[in-house]
Amino acid sequence: LKWDEDNIQLTEAQKNSTMKVTEPKTPYIHYNQETDEIMTDLESKLLIDT
């Protein structure tokens, strides 16, 4: 096994020590209680007429 030392040194000299990782933003849906149909349906079923 023979290493190409010159190429290794050249490659290491050209490397940056930092790397920027680009990631998409995490999807998030803001909760709005007024438009939550499931919650309003549940509340209406739980209410007892007296």
**pTM recorded for the entire structure:** 0.31
Distances (CA, A) of 37 to 27, 30, 41, 46: 21, 15, 6, 14
Type of residue found at 25 = K
Q: How far apart are CA 50 and CA 48, in angstroms?
A: 6
For residue 15, the model assigns a pLDDT of 81
pLDDT in tens, 1-50: 888 999 989 988 888 777 778 888 887 777 777 776 665 555 565 555 54
* d(C-alpha 50, C-alpha 36), whole Å: 26
